[in-house]
Amino acid sequence: MGLAMLAGGWAIASAQGPGTAAPPPPNAPPRRSIEALSELRWLTQQLNLTTEQREKLRPVIVDEGEQLHDLRINERLSPDQKKAKALEIREAFRPKIAAELTPEQQEKWKKMQPGTGA
């Protein structure tokens, strides 16, 4: 009977395939939140953000990340439509981010933006 159970377990494991990953733990933060926090860390390093600035920017950047994530998984839009919408989302969030930066940080951040030629 032990051999039969072993063979049965192997059959079940094989049926799942090699690419099957375990689901994340229920209390794990969503991947998009991790990406947003990673962006916040990068901005903190590049612009030397204060603790207060980080706290004010966190919900803004998380919201932007969630909107971009929702756009990426939207199957109704063509790649060109997604690209245009992503640009719209980023443009909508730029003033919200800039509002929390000092004039010096804003200048540096502006140079970091794609398409500024800097």
> What pLDDT does residue 33 have?
65
DSSP string, 72-104: HH-SSS-HHHHHHHHHHHHHHHHHHHHTTS-HH
> What pLDDT does residue 95 have?
95
More confident residue, 18 or 43: 43
Share of the chain above pLDDT 70, in %: 69
> Which whole-number Å values give the CA distances from 108 to 37, 48, 53, in the listed order?
20, 11, 15
User: Position 69: which residue type?
Assistant: H
Cβ–Cβ under 8 Å, residues 60 and 96: yes
Residue 6: pLDDT above 80?
no
| Mean pLDDT calculated for residue range 14-35 | 52
pLDDT tier for residue 85 given thresholds of 50, 70 and 90? very high
Look at residues 16, 64, 26, 25 and name the one whose alpha carbon lies nearest to residue 43.
Answer: 64
Decide: pTM greater than 0.95.
no
pLDDT tier for residue 31 given thresholds of 50, 70 and 90? low
Q: Which residues contact 62 (CB under 8 A, 6 or more apart)?
A: 33, 36, 37
> What pLDDT does residue 19 have?
46
